[in-house]
Amino acid sequence: MRAVVIDTPGTVRVDTLPDPVLPGPDGAVVRVTATAICGSDLHFYEGDYPLVAPVSLGHEAVGEVVEVGPDVRTVRVGDQVLVSSVAGCGHCAGCATADPVTCVSGPRIFGSGALGGAQAELLAVPAADFQLLALPEDVGTEAALLLTDNLATGWAGAQRADITPGATVVVFGLGAVGLCAVRSAVAQGAGTVFAVDPVPGRRERAAQSGATPLAPEDVGEVHAATAGRGAASVIDAVGNDTTMTAALNCVRAGGTVSVVGVHDLEPFPFPALMSLVRSVTLRMTTAPVQSTWPQLIPLLRAGRLDANDVFTHSFALADADAAYAAVAARSADCVKVTLTP
């Protein structure tokens, strides 16, 4: 099969790898019909994480089941499915909560070395009953891809930000996860959502979803708009030192900072004393993808949550190098891309 592989930062290639085999009696093999590049894939591409061996990339995929083990009960060959980006064993007390992050054996993420990459023609999926969801006919491909990771992450980030009706919320970073966080905050009852990003075009996209756009240098306006208190809830969809520091600075005393952006491997200089004195709650979240589906799918189908206009470009799998370069540019017009095998 063909798959996107990286072994040198700044360059990906489409390589020919062995077809995956069924990963046990509870597993499945999925023929990938659409996959996507996530902002966290860029940590490999931009050299934030060490590459000790070639990595088959990607953790967002929808496709068709082509093989199932004898213990699989919820999907069958021919089903169109989406694949959770985060995998659990599917059988332990942690997975019983529908949160793979709490798997007793530890969560695994597709395309990070532990499991195969989703930017490929085929994907082996362990614990298929837990990882796969048969795709409702009225949920389109782009919405399904967002349900595998970005929308689930934005939604969970908003939930864990303790948003109350009418509250002021700030979202840092307006890539796909940040845009989903903006829409999730609105859907969860926020009164004002400030959307912060250095790229004007991305701020304009957030404004179309009901947010108040801000350039990073204008974050002080949050305090002006809240009579000096700061925002009740802040969602950081970037996760670097600059945005995490800004998030902690603009949250009000007693407020919550919810970080869903992926930090690099360097220590963060956490302002512990300031946060303690101000009673700030800090939450760091890897999305509990499977647990979000019962909430998100009805909202999408009812039109109460919008998954449109997050994807901006589509590339063939063979053009993965150009696709990665486009996403890494972080331009106004290229937010998220699909790759089609």
Residue 332 has a pLDDT of: 84
Residues 250 and 314 in one domain: no
Tell me: the pLDDT tens digits for 129-171? 999 999 988 999 999 999 999 999 999 999 999 999 999 999 9
Give the pTM: 0.96
Strand 337-340 to strand 28-36: parallel, antiparallel, or no bridges (unpaired)?
antiparallel
Range of the domain at 237: 154-284
For 246-267, letters b (16+ CB in 10 Å) and e give bbbbbbbeebbbbbbbbbeeee
Report residue 45 CA to chain centroid gap.
17
Among 80, 36, 43, smallest CA distance to 58 is for 36
Residues 102 and 160 in one domain: no
Distance between CA atoms of 326 and 330, rounded to whole angstroms?
Answer: 7
Residues 114 and 262 in one domain: no
Rg (CA), the chain: 20
Last residue in a domain, options 284, 301, 323: 284
Which long-range CB contacts under 8 A does 325-332 form with residues at least 24 apart?
A: 327/37, 327/39, 327/42, 328/42, 328/45, 328/46, 330/175, 330/199, 331/199, 331/201, 332/199, 332/200, 332/201, 332/202, 332/204
Residues 10 and 141 in one domain: yes
Residue 53 has a pLDDT of: 85
Residues 122 and 50 in one domain: yes
Residues 319 and 219 in one domain: no
Residues 95 and 11 in one domain: yes
Residues 160 and 262 in one domain: yes
Residues 6 and 143 in one domain: yes
- The CATH code of the domain that includes 310 is 3.90.180.10
Residues 305 and 247 in one domain: no
- The CATH code of the domain that includes 167 is 3.40.50.720
One-letter amino acid at 231 equals A
Residues 111 and 88 in one domain: yes
**Low-confidence stretches of the chain (pLDDT beneath 50):** none
Distances (CA, A) of 97 to 26, 101, 102, 118: 19, 10, 8, 25
Only one residue has tokens 């489409």, namely: 14
Residues 269 and 326 in one domain: no
**Residues 6+ away with beta carbon under 8 Å from 55:** 5, 6, 7, 44, 111, 112, 113, 117
Number of domain units in the chain: 2
